[in-house]
Chains A and B, each alone.
Chain A
């Protein structure tokens, strides 16, 4: 999922494509080919009806015997999306799970990012490396590893039983809790890295100035450090929230059968129900659900201007 492309700044018109145009052309072509075109294909499919055919959806036009073309497309799928509580619940549930995971990742990631940013140079590099290290192994493997931790006879239950903290094993796997764990674990680096990039630039003199003016460490944090790191927080939260909303693998592997997330609904529509049109409509709506808050945040940050 990619963020909405920024419109290029207006510039005096030129007739011949200059070198700047060529530089922009590559990412533009990439976005066009791999983002915009598929998006329109999805949009087009979402307006059709499913049918047993190849591809499995109806055409948008019918050419009658006299050569006139009749528009067949409709918004039936979108009407169903709004009316059917299954889809609505899936959206709300996805947003809730993504939001809770984002907040949890922020609460865990912020102190880590802060500590790394304040660490002396050689240790800082090592800590950053440790944050990135999990990316060297497959994402799927790491999620499977969590099954080993969380299941009935898993490491956590055995440890807790062994220590006598619990009498019976806790049910952790196949719960919403396991989904939160999986998402927070997977996306934590995406929270930490932008926060780190922001916090490492924080001038120590601001903290000293706050202390000098009578602010204790806690007050300094809430009045100086936190507001100045807001751009990092926004970036980190978007990087966690957006992919988490569409997450499919983690709820599938760790979640309960009842854990409803839009990624799962989409998968089911597409592969189980073989209803490409509904799946396409679900995807289009999801895109807007995700893009709208980004646009809003971006506009807010732009309006604040060069505060930092």
Chain B
């Protein structure tokens, strides 16, 4: 197999989801799965393009795993359709689908050596012995497990098992690889290393990945696009930056990263800037947004890193600012997070890089100016 990065161009240079005329590789339409009276997946529609590394992100019970299992064929949808590479998947059993899955528990066959585990899928296809051996060796090289070919799964560490599971799922060169919490069982440090390993492998092979995860950092790091799921629905689909910077509602804003959510009412719309009234912070200038009525209830999402702290003089005009007292300082190495108490009693979380305050760090009980640009505020209507 040519491992030179032809997949890289697909993933990095073209973004087919931005091109309205692009044909999706996988089209999920109004897919629904009901168990008795519980709706696990509710009319989900989703287009995924060739070479993507798409993350389904959500808390437990949001339906992300059920969606993945319907793609693999383990669950039959109650309604809706899945079309993969032009072929409807309705009624196609798992063993006839051009997809492979990496299981959360890895599900490595305990009675087979690593090489037999990896070769299992090839043997089912009727691939000859010599080719099996060659492709297994290639996969072992890809996941850097050449020395462990003759071990049994129980003789491997968790990280090694994870890589065997990945190799076993990849060896058949599936059109679509489904990964159910692929890094969930690894410890934090190994997980972070493996994230980049996963990206490298995905770009090397150019196979389309769908990854289910509950870990937003993981999704942000590895995904080309993220689909945020909540209670069986896809709430928002977008590139990591879009999801982070322009969340569509309070759930997404709160789920991805940390955020200050402030209740507000629309006061008056101006051509360049819009004003809202908040109980906690008084009037706030926010970016203009179409379709709002005066007096309408909205929420302001403000990321901690958008809040700038200073001791005065008062910040430049055009920014929102307020006086606050520092209640807590949390040092996290490259940055510090501050819990600020505004005059109204409202608590705000701010964070800033430590090198900004190297000389004379802001500390407990200090009175500070907190300011943020109108453009940093995201107005949410739901």
Choose, from A83-91, A101-109, A206-214, A247-255, the stretch at the interface: A206-214
How extensive is the interface on chain A, given as a class?
20 to 34
Contact bitstring B71-100, A, C-beta under 8 A = 1, else 0: 011100000000000000000011110011
In the complex, what residues of A have CB within 8 A of residue B154's CB?
Answer: 306
Name the residue among A203, A209, A210, A213 with the largest chain B CB count within 10 angstroms.
Answer: A213
CB within 8 Å for A215 and B110 given contacts A306-B154, A307-B152:
no
A69 to B103, CA, bound (A): 76
The minimal Cβ–Cβ distance linking A60 to chain B, given in whole angstroms, is 52
B94 touches A211 (CB 8 A): yes
CB within 8 Å for A215 and B95 given contacts A205-B105, A209-B103, A210-B120:
yes
B124 touches A213 (CB 8 A): yes
Is chain A's binding surface mostly helix, strand, loop or mixed? helix
Give which listed residue, B93, B109, B169, B172, contacts A206 with CB less than 8 A: B109
A74 at the interface (CB under 8 A from B): no
Name the residue among A206, A211, A228 with the largest chain B CB count within 10 angstroms.
Answer: A211
In the complex, what residues of B have CB within 8 A of residue A206's CB?
Answer: 107, 109
CB within 8 Å for A213 and B111 given contacts A208-B74, A208-B103, A307-B152:
no
A216 touches B103 (CB 8 A): no
CB within 8 Å for A213 and B72 given contacts A206-B107, A206-B109:
no
In the complex, what residues of A have CB within 8 A of residue B99's CB?
Answer: 212
A216 touches B107 (CB 8 A): no
In the complex, what residues of B have CB within 8 A of residue A205's CB?
Answer: 103, 105, 107
Give which listed residue, B73, B103, B111, B152, contacts A227 with CB less than 8 A: B111
Nearest CB in chain A to that of B125: its residue: A214
B168 at the interface (CB under 8 A from A): yes
In the complex, what residues of B have CB within 8 A of residue A212's CB?
Answer: 72, 94-95, 99-101, 169
The minimal Cβ–Cβ distance linking A181 to chain B, given in whole angstroms, is 35
B152 touches A213 (CB 8 A): no
A306 to B155, CA, bound (A): 10
The minimal Cβ–Cβ distance linking A219 to chain B, given in whole angstroms, is 7
In the complex, what residues of A have CB within 8 A of residue B94's CB?
Answer: 208, 211-212
B124 touches A219 (CB 8 A): yes
CB within 8 Å for A223 and B120 given contacts A211-B93, A212-B95:
yes
The minimal Cβ–Cβ distance linking A303 to chain B, given in whole angstroms, is 14
B121 at the interface (CB under 8 A from A): yes
Which A residues have a C-beta under 8 Å from some C-beta of B?
Answer: 203, 205-206, 208-216, 219, 223-224, 227-228, 306-308
